[in-house]
Structure 1
Amino acid sequence: MLTYEDCLGMSELTEEEIDAIAEHEHCDSIIALEMGNYLMHAPDGSPRIRRMILDDIAAARQRGDFAHAAKLKRVMEHFCQIHPEANDVD
Structure 2
Amino acid sequence: MLSIQDVIDYCDLDRGEIEAIAEHEHIPITIAAEMSEVLLCTPDGVCRLHSMIIENMQQALDSGHYQHVKDLAQTYEHLQRTHPIPAN
Query: What letter corresponds to residue 33 of structure 1 in structure 2?
Result: A
TM-score, normalised by the number of residues in structure 2: 0.87
Matched with 2:74 is: 74
Uncovered stretches (5+) of structure 1, i.e. residues with no partner: none
- Cα RMSD (Å) of the superposition? 1.8
> In the TM superposition, what is the alpha-carbon distance from 1:42 to its structure 2 partner?
2.4
Query: What letter corresponds to residue 47 of structure 2 in structure 1?
Result: P
Cα distance in 1, alignment partners of residues 87 and 21 from structure 2: 19
Query: What letter corresponds to residue 66 of structure 2 in structure 1?
Result: F
Contact 1:8/1:15, CA 8 A, preserved across alignment: yes
4+ aligned runs moved over 3 Å, structure 1: 1-7
SS in 2 for 1:44: helix
Matched with 2:19 is: 19
Matched with 1:46 is: 46
Cα distance in 2, alignment partners of residues 3 and 9 from structure 1: 10
SS in 2 for 1:24: helix
